Structure 1
Amino acid sequence: MDHEHGLRRLIRRARRALRDRTSRWLARLAATPTPCHAPLPCPTRILVCRVNKRLGNTVLLTPLLQSLAATFPQARIDVLVQGRYNGVLLENLPGVNRVHEVPTEPWPLLRRLVPLIRHLRRQRYDLAIDPNNHSSSNRLAMAVSGARYRLGFAAADQWLKLTHAAAFPDHEPHTGLQPLYLLAAITGTPVHRIKTTAVGLTDHQRSRAHNRLQASLGAAADGPLIGFFAEATGGKQLPGDWWQAWCTAVQEQAPDATLVQIVRPGGPALAPTATPVGTSDLGELAAIIEQMDGFIAADSGPMHLASATGVPVLGLFQATPPERFAPLGELCCAITTPVEPAAAARMLLALRKQTDELLRRQG
């Protein structure tokens, strides 16, 4: 397993080095090395290009989408993502009109790419946005979109000629908040920067989630529902015995709590005291997590998904910096590991109590 992870790291490093070298070479032909600001007439058709299939990256795009909708309420916002699963999380957000999906498999990609490009160009977008500072896929998508104006970050390796460019905000480390600084390059009016993630859930998704959760739990749970996701990629994942000890600690500290483990469909429970719940429908999964009273996970897509639903979240970080990837939400907290399972249980339960007190004051 360690050998497999090491090979994957080498492949990622090689791909990153090739991408950086190619970008620097292309930047010699046509580059946008310095910021260029100019107020735009209020755009009515906007395309946001985030050609990536990772769940966390999709959720971390939502602060920008919400900020765009608040800053340009008359605009129709389309989003270009990769894969056919993540788009369901964005399509019901305020201001979002449609989510276009780039296939991940080679044959559907070749078969559908030309029709997709034609469709994008027929939309006659006023503005295309690349929210990332190093994505060649995003830049290619903007280049072929046919948008009248193109907005992104200025950089020495920014090989796409942009009409509007912002300086990369080195003072803002968080990946989900950096794109918000793009908006100042296109408007002279105050920018509405929304710094929390969100997902657009329907009543139908919530109803299905409620039914699935009740079917999994059997009898109605009287106490709080505490959710957790024990998986993560590479060095971000905590060992199984840590999670088992954490489950034991929660049951000792909150005997009335019901533990719900979010798993891949059909996956087993990590501990006998936990009820496994899983679905491949991300909208339904978000609606399931929304019913939790608290949620804990390592740095992963479900961690960000939980924060986007408004659930109190405790994020565990051991291989990635929390200042870049912490869950964004008023009820969220990120800690670095190692941390004792009992201490993590106390933190999450305390976070839940703080939330209950806040809701009582507001109510």
Structure 2
Amino acid sequence: MSTLKKINVVRRALMQGLTKNIGNTNSTKNIKLTDKTTIKKVLISRPNQRLGNLLLITPLIQEVTNTFPGCKIDLFVKGTIAPIVFENYENINNVVELPKKPFKETLNYIKVWIKLKKQHYDIAINVDKNSSSGRLSVQFANATYKFFGEASEDIESKYKDYEHIAKYPIYNFRSFLTQLGLDKNESPIPSLDLKLSNSEIANGQKLLKDIVNNEKKTICIFTYATGDKCYSETWWEVFYERLKAEYQNNYNIIEVLPVENISKIGFKAPTFYSKDVREIGSLIANSVLFIGADSGIMHLSSASKTPTVGLFSKDNIRKYEPYNNNSVAINTNDSTVDDWIKVINKILS
């Protein structure tokens, strides 16, 4: 582990220890919410800059919008990608962005917190119960109702899919609302959604056509991932050769490249490279299947409504698996290539 990573581990542990008792949802439980139409302005706090983590809050945004029709939502995030991800969410009012490197942009960092404090919200929501910055932001915000992300005593065991990082914030928030006096909500959890427009999807179709120039359907692969989630060149080359043997007669197989412009198969497949996440999503939306390791692009595929096969070598499948639109997570440690092909065939059938 690098020195920087070690410092971040210590920093997170320290901040979580200092903030674990900050904020108390119980303080608003005695204030009953008798009329949902009074909720006009909502703060959702997810101070994180990673593409995947931002896409994973799109279900919660849909949940809040469905619960409080006509409300306006401010997002408290980190970095600069959120306005792009939520570009087509009409009820997103403001995106309050913390700088990615606060120690290098201290003045700007302070200004953002001051900007947050000046606003008033009907409800402030912390997405990640383990986020110290999220808890701090909800505590700091001026809001009638404050939800810090805690789970009720029985909720974790009630839902089989509770562990998923896109789902437990919704289950927790629904529980909070019932404690405020609203009716219990048992509707299906919304899916990830980039909300691609018709024009974006049409542009993605053109981009794909420029690469393959035929009428065959397309399978997208993504061979990169960060850290120990990334499979080796040898692993991918074996899998890619099998994919070709099984599917290249009837399907195009193209590789979506990461921003680092790295290919674990040595650029052997036709490739697509872009730094525009919406453009990448629009191209994937025109494919029949996406295959890739746990990554932000895997979640982008889910949010683009394409059936997604997520490849996992770590024990975090239940937390991060793609879950919408005929998508599947595969534990590659306890299965074989033959097993993976069977899964792919079932999706393509």
Matched, 1:183 2:183: no
Gaps of 5+ in 1: 155-164, 354-363
Structure 1 residues 117, 249: closer, same or farther in 2, change over 3 A?
same
AA aligned opposite 1:185: F
Q: Aligned partner of 1:248: which letter?
A: E
C-alpha displacement of 1:9? 5.8
Aligned-pair CA distance for 1:153:
2.9
> Which residue pairs with 2:254 in the alignment?
260
The change in CA–CA distance for 1:82 and 1:33 in structure 2 (over 3 A counts) is closer
Q: How many residues align?
A: 333
Structure 1 residues 31, 44: CA separation in 2 closer, same or farther (over 3 Å shift)? Answer: closer
Deviations 1:138-166 (A, max 9, x none): 12222333223211234xxxxxxxxxx85
Q: CA deviation at 1:297?
A: 1.0
The answer on 1:234 being equivalent to 2:227 is yes
Partner of 1:67: 63
**Offset of residue 99 of structure 1:** 2.7
Does the 8 Å contact 2:204/2:285 carry over to 1?
A: no
After TM superposition, the structure 1 = structure 2 runs for residues 50-61 of structure 1, keeping only pairs within 5 Å, are 50-61=46-57
Q: SS state of the match for residue 112, structure 2?
A: helix
Q: How much has 1:51 moved relative to structure 2?
A: 0.3
Confirm whether residue 173 of structure 1 aligns to residue 171 of structure 2: no
Distance 1:141 1:20, change over 3 A: closer
Residue 17, structure 1, aligned to residue 13, structure 2: yes
Distance 1:150 1:319 in 2: 34
Contact 2:25 2:148 in 1 (8 A): no
Once residues 98 and 252 of structure 1 are traced to their aligned partners in structure 2, the CA distance between those partners, rounded to angstroms, is 49
Question: What is the RMSD computed on CA atoms of the aligned residues?
Answer: 2.7
Q: Deviations over 1:117-151 (max 9, x none)?
A: 44434442111100111111112222333223211
Tell me the percent identity: 25
Q: d(CA) in 1 for partners of 2:175 and 2:47?
A: 23
User: How do 1:117-266 residues align onto structure 2 when only pairs under 5 Å count?
Assistant: 117-154=113-150, 166=152, 169-171=155-157, 172-181=162-171, 182-187=173-178, 188-191=182-185, 192-215=187-210, 217=211, 219-254=212-247, 255-265=249-259
1:32 counterpart = 2:24: yes
Conserved 8 A contact 2:16-2:131: no
TM-score for the superposition, normalised by structure 2 = 0.84
Q: State whether residues 152 and 166 of structure 1, in contact with CA within 8 Å, keep that contact through their aligned partners in structure 2.
A: no
Shift of 1:62: 1.3
Unaligned runs of 5+ in 2: none
> Cα offset for 1:348?
1.8
SS in structure 2 at match of 1:225 = strand
How many Å apart are 1:294 and its aligned residue? 0.3
The amino acid across from 1:319 in the alignment is K
- Looking at structure 1, the residues matched to 317 and 132 of structure 2 have their Cα atoms a distance apart, in angstroms, of 25
Residues 86 and 230 of structure 1: CA distance in aligned 2, closer, same or farther (over 3 Å):
farther
Q: TM-score under structure 1 normalisation?
A: 0.81
The one-character-per-residue Cα deviations of 1:161-219 (angstroms, maximum 9, x if unpaired) are xxxx855842221111111121332351243552421112234433443443333x1x5
Q: After superposition, what is the alpha-carbon deviation per residue over 1:47-101, rounded to whole angstroms, capped at 9, x for unaligned?
A: 1000011122111111111111111112112212211123322232364333332
Q: Secondary structure at the match of 1:248?
A: helix
Q: CA deviation at 1:265?
A: 4.2
Specify which of 82, 88, 91 is matched with residue 84 of structure 2: 88
> Any idea what SS the aligned residue of 1:80 has?
strand
* Contact 1:304/1:328 (8 A) holds in 2: no
Which residue number corresponds to residue 158 of structure 1? none
Deviations 1:313-361 (A, max 9, x none): 11111113211111120311111113434542442232122xxxxxxxx
Letter in 2 for 1:306: S
Per-residue deviation, 1:266: 7.1
Quick one: structure 1 residues 74 and 36, their matched pair in 2 at CA, closer, same or farther if it must change by over 3 Å? Answer: same
Following TM superposition, by how much is the alpha carbon of 1:227 offset from its aligned partner in structure 2, in angstroms? 0.7
SS in 1 for 2:120: coil
